[in-house]
């Protein structure tokens, strides 16, 4: 069994450049290279930074529990200001310096000047992280988007800015369901193409629960001559109260038949079984449709992701 890819110590202090260089030499240089050389589906995990010191054990327990599944890469979401940003960089640094999988740092435009963004990129680079997921981000509390007076307006500008700062491999967000601000799938496809033209080398989708939407997204992109690898993002639904929240995150109601089965379940255990079965089936359908892999949004929990991956690999082993 592979060893956990983070140290057992809870120390998040910066590693020496030698430690970072040693760890970096053991993994491919970029997500783009991983995708180009892959001979099978790549599985990856997204975590978020601990909100406080008390939350740190939860994150690292999830990271270590998922390590035996040998992710192609992992990513850590971005807290734009103050301690959350520091914790993002610290968590990303710890994983990057461990000799484990490739590590992707998130970056947003929210409440940040260009100087702030450049500073964050310098911190990532110092940590040995040269793969960035560049997204515009949402305003705190879901308010109307406002550009920082000295900042960037959108993800396309952010991609271009990141590329200007150094040799970073940049990924971006893709939307199987129309983005809530546009409600226009064709416009979303054009914007994704713009991000690719600005330098993006891969995309990860927002949450969605209907595999057909992924195929439709690929068709829209191919129609524009854009063949950037698009990795579907997935979060297994295991609790009935997640229905409304996940619909909000995905930008569309969940499929009617899926919701009906969840609501008809006679117990919490049955809800979980239905949710996991849907996730496994969706993963299989997405891979069959040509997805290069699956990104699991873990919410710093490991059990559901481990169960889905175990079921998928058991099927492939037959």
DSSP string, 190-259: HHHHHHHHHTEEEEEEEE-S-HHHHHHHHHHHHHTT----EEEEE----STTHHHHHHHHHTSPPPHHHH
Percent of the chain with pLDDT over 70: 88
Class of the 17-236+292-300 domain? alpha beta
Looking at 46, 123, 157, 201, which residue is catalytic?
46
**Residue 16 reports pLDDT greater than 50:** no
Q: What is the mean pLDDT of residues 59-67?
A: 93
75-84, 91-100, 144-153, 174-183: which range is least confident on average? 75-84
Token pair listed for 131: 């793969």
What does the pLDDT look like over 172-212, one tens digit per residue? 999 999 877 777 899 999 999 999 999 999 999 999 999 99
d(CA 52, CA 50) in angstroms, rounded, equals 5
**Residue 1 reports pLDDT greater than 50:** no
> Can you give 111-144 as a three-state secondary structure string?
CCCHHHHHHHHHHHHHCCCCEEEEECCCCHHHCC
Percent of the chain with pLDDT over 90: 65
What pLDDT, on a 0 to 100 scale, did the predictor assign at position 81? 52
With cut-offs at 50, 70 and 90, classify the pLDDT of residue 23. very low
Report the alpha-carbon angle 263-268-273, nearest 5: 85
Q: Which of 97, 110, 116, 117 is nearest to 12 (CA)?
A: 97
All structural domains of the chain with their residue ranges: 17-236+292-300
With cut-offs at 50, 70 and 90, classify the pLDDT of residue 231. very high
**Residue 24 reports pLDDT greater than 70:** no
Check if the beta carbon of residue 136 is closer than 8 Å to that of residue 146: no
- Residue given tokens 């409600």 in the structure block: 183
Is residue 46 flagged as an active site residue?
A: yes
What pLDDT, on a 0 to 100 scale, did the predictor assign at position 17? 42
With cut-offs at 50, 70 and 90, classify the pLDDT of residue 263. very high
**Residue 101 reports pLDDT greater than 70:** yes
What pLDDT, on a 0 to 100 scale, did the predictor assign at position 41? 94
- Residue given tokens 């969840």 in the structure block: 262
What does the pLDDT look like over 284-307, one tens digit per residue? 999 999 999 999 999 999 999 999
What pLDDT, on a 0 to 100 scale, did the predictor assign at position 296? 98
d(CA 138, CA 146) in angstroms, rounded, equals 9
**Residue 134 reports pLDDT greater than 90:** yes
What pLDDT, on a 0 to 100 scale, did the predictor assign at position 29? 83
Q: What is the mean pLDDT of residues 240-256?
A: 85
**Residue 9 reports pLDDT greater than 90:** no
Q: What is the mean pLDDT of residues 135-162?
A: 88
Rounded to the nearest 10 degrees, the angle between the axes of helix 303-317 and helix 56-66 is 10
First to last CA, the chain: 21
26-30, 50-54, 192-196: which range is least confident on average? 26-30
Q: Which helix (H) or strand (E) holds 309?
A: helix 303-317
With cut-offs at 50, 70 and 90, classify the pLDDT of residue 142. low
What pLDDT, on a 0 to 100 scale, did the predictor assign at position 233? 97
The pairing of strands 169-174 and 200-207 is: parallel
* Contacts (Cβ under 8 Å, ≥6 apart) of 83: none
With cut-offs at 50, 70 and 90, classify the pLDDT of residue 47. very high
**Residue 50 reports pLDDT greater than 90:** no
pTM of the complete model = 0.89
* Contacts (Cβ under 8 Å, ≥6 apart) of 6: 60, 63, 64, 67, 94, 95, 98, 100
| Phi and psi at residue 267, to the nearest 5° | -160, 165
Q: Which helix (H) or strand (E) holds 57?
A: helix 56-66
């Amino acid at each position: 069994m592979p060893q956990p890819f983070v140290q057992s110590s809870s120390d998040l202090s910066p590693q020496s450049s030698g430690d970072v260089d040693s760890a970096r030499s053991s993994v491919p240089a970029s997500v783009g290279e991983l995708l180009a050389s892959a001979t099978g589906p790549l599985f990856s995990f997204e975590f978020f930074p601990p909100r406080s010191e008390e939350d740190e054990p939860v994150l690292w327990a999830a990271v270590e529990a998922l390590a035996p599944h040998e992710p192609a890469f992992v990513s850590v979401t971005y807290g734009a200001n103050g301690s959350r940003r520091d914790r993002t960089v610290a968590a990303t640094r710890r994983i990057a310096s461990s000799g484990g999988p490739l590590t992707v740092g998130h970056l947003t435009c929210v409440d940040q000047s260009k100087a702030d963004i450049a500073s964050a990129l310098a911190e990532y680079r110092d940590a040995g992280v040269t793969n960035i997921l560049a997204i515009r981000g949402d305003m705190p509390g879901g308010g109307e988007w406002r550009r920082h007076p000295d900042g960037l307006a959108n993800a396309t500008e952010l991609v271009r800015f990141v590329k200007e700062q150094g040799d970073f491999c940049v990924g971006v967000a893709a939307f199987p369901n129309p983005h809530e601000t546009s409600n226009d799938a064709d416009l979303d496809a054009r914007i994704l193409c713009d991000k690719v033209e600005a330098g993006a080398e891969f995309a990860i989708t927002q949450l969605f629960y209907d595999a057909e939407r992924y195929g439709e997204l690929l068709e829209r992109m191919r129609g524009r001559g854009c063949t950037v690898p698009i990795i579907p993002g997935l979060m297994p639904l295991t609790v009935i109260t997640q229905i409304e929240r996940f619909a909000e995150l995905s930008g569309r109601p969940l499929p009617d038949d899926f919701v009906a089965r969840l609501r008809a379940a006679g117990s919490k255990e049955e809800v979980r079984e239905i949710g996991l079965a849907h996730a496994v089936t969706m993963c299989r359908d997405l891979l069959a449709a040509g997805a290069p892999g699956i990104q699991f949004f873990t919410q710093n929990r490991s059990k559901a992701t481990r169960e889905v991956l175990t079921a998928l690999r058991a099927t492939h082993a037959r």
